Amino acid sequence: MAIPVHRTTKPRPRPEGAPAFGSVFTDHIFRADWTPERGWHDARIEPYGPLSLDPAAAVLHYGQEAFEGLKAFRGADGALRLFRPADHARRMVRTAKRLCMPEPDEAMLVEAMRAIVREDAPWVPDAPGGSLYIRPLLIATEAFLGVRPARSYALLVLACPVGAYFDKGARPLRLWVERRHSRSAPGGVGAAKTGANYVASLLAAEEAKARGFDQVLWTDASTHKLVEEVGTMNLFANLGGTVVTPPLADTLLAGVTRDSVLALLRDEKARVEERPLSVDELLSAHRNGKLAEVFGTGTAAVVAPVGELAMDEGSITLPASPDGVAERLGRALREIQRGERKDPHGWMVAA
């Protein structure tokens, strides 16, 4: 698929190293539009700049919006590769279905992501820990004040060079176990990657940060007894050598990094369980000396260890595990992404 390119005549100054996450954007953006009469059309790459939207655009009033997030890396051989772009495209299709939006063509979306990386290749950091974060975005553009699916949409792909996600470095996270607010509920859009889930999480996260914590550990909306996600990441716990993660449901996002971690664990014949996990089980395992590690996984942070879980009853501290499961998995994923380790699953795709 050949995508027309209209290059900028005013290139932006590129930052040194890897800037703070999501703060600097590259020179170009991909866009395609959709209407019932024409389907997806006018795919092109054009200079990055502000969008022109009618004030009555449906995305601004009814939240018809979906997005994705993945990374491209400059390998040790200098080649540029994207991490599992087809899986992210498929997840955007699933989100679009849930939100009554037209489904992007998967092949078009993957090629759009590759094309942006090729066009803005000089922006891909080669600093340690640096990558190019790619953000596909699907929005409803029809100007209409009525509660129904919109009849026009735009699909965008933008990119930004990034360094580490957490601004305080790679130290273990301190989490507040959230039992009052809920991120999502059964039957809702918790499994969709849409802004509604993220804005719903902000108040609890800000309250946790005001107490001195980095993020929250979400619990289920019905009973607040089962753990679900770590902030915006999927959750894993190492219980006596068995790695446990909550099963996918309509309240959890099916993380691509989560799936990658499970694949690596199964490659090494580790004991893995996808099952419900309660706060009480974590507390009991800690008392019995079986709670070795808790960590989160996600595109932005990759694998993030947890050092403390705090709640109204008190807090538990988890020992640092420099040779633990989280460190081993994080290192393996980073080495695969940078072409320093064999890629047995074919996750890396050339730009």
CATH of the domain at 92: 3.30.470.10
**239 occurs within a structural domain:** yes
* 305 and 190 fall within a common domain: yes
Residue 166: its pLDDT value, please? Answer: 60
* 123 and 82 fall within a common domain: yes
Q: Over its length of 351 residues, how does the chain's per-residue pLDDT go in tens digits? A: 789 999 999 999 998 877 888 899 999 999 999 999 999 999 999 999 999 999 999 999 999 999 999 999 999 899 999 999 999 999 999 999 999 999 999 999 999 999 999 999 999 998 888 999 999 999 999 999 999 999 999 999 999 999 877 655 568 999 999 999 999 999 999 999 999 999 999 999 999 999 999 999 999 999 999 999 999 999 999 999 999 999 999 999 999 999 999 999 999 999 999 999 999 999 999 999 999 999 999 999 899 999 999 999 889 999 878 889 999 999 999 999 999 999 999 999 999
Alpha-carbon distances, residue 223 vs 86, 273, 277 (angstroms): 36, 22, 13
**101 occurs within a structural domain:** yes
Burial status of residue 15 (CB atoms within 10 A of its CB: 0-12, 13-18, 19 or more): middle
* 134 and 251 fall within a common domain: no
**12 occurs within a structural domain:** no
CA 295, CA 305: separation in Å to the nearest integer? Answer: 4
* 148 and 86 fall within a common domain: yes
* 180 and 267 fall within a common domain: yes
Residue 135 belongs to what domain range?
A: 28-163
Instruction: Look at the chain and report how many structural domains it folds into.
Output: 2
**231 occurs within a structural domain:** yes
Question: pTM score, two decimals?
Answer: 0.95
Determine contact, residues 285/309, Cβ cutoff 8 Å: no
* 263 and 126 fall within a common domain: no
* 321 and 211 fall within a common domain: yes
Residue 16: its pLDDT value, please? Answer: 83
Task: Count CB neighbours of 154 within 10 A.
Answer: 18
The amino acid present at 36, given as its one-letter code, is: P
* 47 and 135 fall within a common domain: yes
* 233 and 331 fall within a common domain: yes
**210 occurs within a structural domain:** yes
Give the torsion through C-alpha atoms of 259, 219, 249, 348, to 10 deg.
-20
**6 occurs within a structural domain:** no
CA 221, CA 200: separation in Å to the nearest integer? Answer: 12
CATH label of the domain that carries residue 250 = 3.20.10.10
Determine contact, residues 45/30, Cβ cutoff 8 Å: yes
Task: Count CB neighbours of 76 within 10 A.
Answer: 11
Question: Which of 104, 129, 163 is the last residue before a domain boundary?
Answer: 163
- Residue that the structure tokens 């691509």 belong to: 256
H-run or E-run covering 332: helix 325-337
CA 105, CA 99: separation in Å to the nearest integer? Answer: 16
**108 occurs within a structural domain:** yes
CA 175, CA 169: separation in Å to the nearest integer? Answer: 16
Determine contact, residues 285/350, Cβ cutoff 8 Å: no
Question: Which of 163, 187, 214 is the last residue before a domain boundary?
Answer: 163
Listed residue (125, 168, 119) closest to 337, CA to CA: 125
* 315 and 223 fall within a common domain: yes
Question: Which of 163, 191, 209 is the last residue before a domain boundary?
Answer: 163
Residue 170: its pLDDT value, please? Answer: 66
* 158 and 186 fall within a common domain: no
* 34 and 155 fall within a common domain: yes
